[in-house]
Amino acid sequence: MADQAEKLRELVRQKQQISVQDGVKCKIITVTSGKGGVGKTNLASNLSISFSMMGQRVLIMDADLGLSNVNIIMGIIPPPKYNLSHVLSGEKDLLEVIAHGPCGIRVITGAVGVPKMANMGTKKRKEFIESFDSLLSLFDLIFIDTSAGLSENVLAFIDAADEVILVTTPEPTSITDAYGMIKAMSAKNENVKVGLVVNRIKNIIEGKKVSDKIVNIAEQFLGLKIERLGYIMEDALVRKSVYEQSPFLVTYPDSKAASCISHIRNKLAGMEEEKHKEKGFFSRLFQGGRS
Ligand SMILES: Nc1ncnc2c1ncn2[C@@H]1O[C@H](COP(=O)(O)OP(=O)(O)O)[C@@H](O)[C@H]1O
Ligand SMILES: [Mg+2]
């Protein structure tokens, strides 16, 4: 209990520090996919760490309700005592279930196999998403790692996001499901901001082919412009790092996958640089972050 209280005090200290800084807006980035097992959690976890290494205050929330595994990929062992299930049951609020992850990131873990989380009702979902407000002044970036496919929960997390990262692999089933996801997202919000990451590619030509296909179809049939955020090479070290329960960006910083993550981070940051020039939101990122 004592360390929980200290955690809260630290959060309050951070909050006070932040309140004197000039209105920097927290970005919520939801990571999703049509098909399961395409690499969302690995991408969200390693990308979070990558931004944290650049001095950003980053939170990753494991919102794969029912099948959460961010804590495994992050190597947070044993898992934190309190997680999202305690927030949804009303026992804790979001601030109280924030745990420490690698490289300074903060993590809200999910709960494995808790059916009530997987089937949140509309009212509960709305309240839950509204409670994110309490996090906005504490972080520069919040990554939400979702489950695959079209559920009301996932669509709500997409709705809550400033941008969405859609992950696919070159497999035809994954591409078709990614397109299904784009269709559902744009039906809900025609201005949804989607960035595409093609994971597990053999080479850049393959990655380009897949992203061209998805980007062109989305533009032609839905009039939606999708940003190409980048690719991640098929890399045995990703699987190895999952087995070792340590993010590859930390354990294998020179791996092909780690270098791809850096490219994606730069692309994401570059996109923001363009859009928020006056606010200078991401310009700080490449000037060493916050002091
Ligand atoms: N770039 C990659 N190269 C090799 N294997 C990968 C790669 N990305 C993901 N994997 C494999 O796919 C598995 C599922 O990844 P994960 O991030 O958990 O997917 P999701 O969150 O979409 O279900 C990983 O445990 C790893 O074995
Ligand atoms: Mg996952």
Question: Which residues are close to ligand 2, an ion, with C-beta < 5 A?
Answer: 40-41, 64
Say what the pTM is: 0.87
What is the pLDDT tens value at each position of the chain, 291 positions in all? 446 556 555 655 555 454 445 456 899 999 999 999 999 999 999 999 999 999 999 999 998 876 778 989 999 988 899 998 888 888 999 999 999 999 999 999 987 766 666 677 888 888 888 888 889 999 999 999 998 988 888 888 999 999 999 999 999 999 999 999 999 999 999 999 999 999 999 999 999 999 999 999 999 999 999 999 999 999 999 999 999 999 999 999 999 999 999 999 999 998 555 554 444 444 444 444 333
Burial class (CB in 10 A: 0-12, 13-18, 19+), 52: buried
Domains of the chain plus CATH, in order, are 24-287 (3.40.50.300)
- List the structure tokens of 285: 């990122």
Q: How many residues are listed for the chain in this entry?
A: 291
Residue 200 is inside which H or E element, if any? strand 194-201
Pocket test for ligand 1, best of 42, 235, 243, 244 (most atoms within 8 A of CB): 42
257 lines ligand 1 (CB under 6 A): yes
Query: Can you count the helices (H) and strands (E) in the chain?
Result: 13, 8
- List the structure tokens of 270: 């570059």
Pocket test for ligand 1, best of 62, 242, 249 (most atoms within 8 A of CB): 242
In angstroms, how far apart are the furthest CA atoms of the chain?
A: 57
CA 63 to ligand 2 center in whole angstroms:
9
87 lines ligand 1 (CB under 6 A): no
| C-alpha to C-alpha distances, 147 to 63, 195, 205, nearest whole angstrom | 7, 17, 28
SS3 192: coil
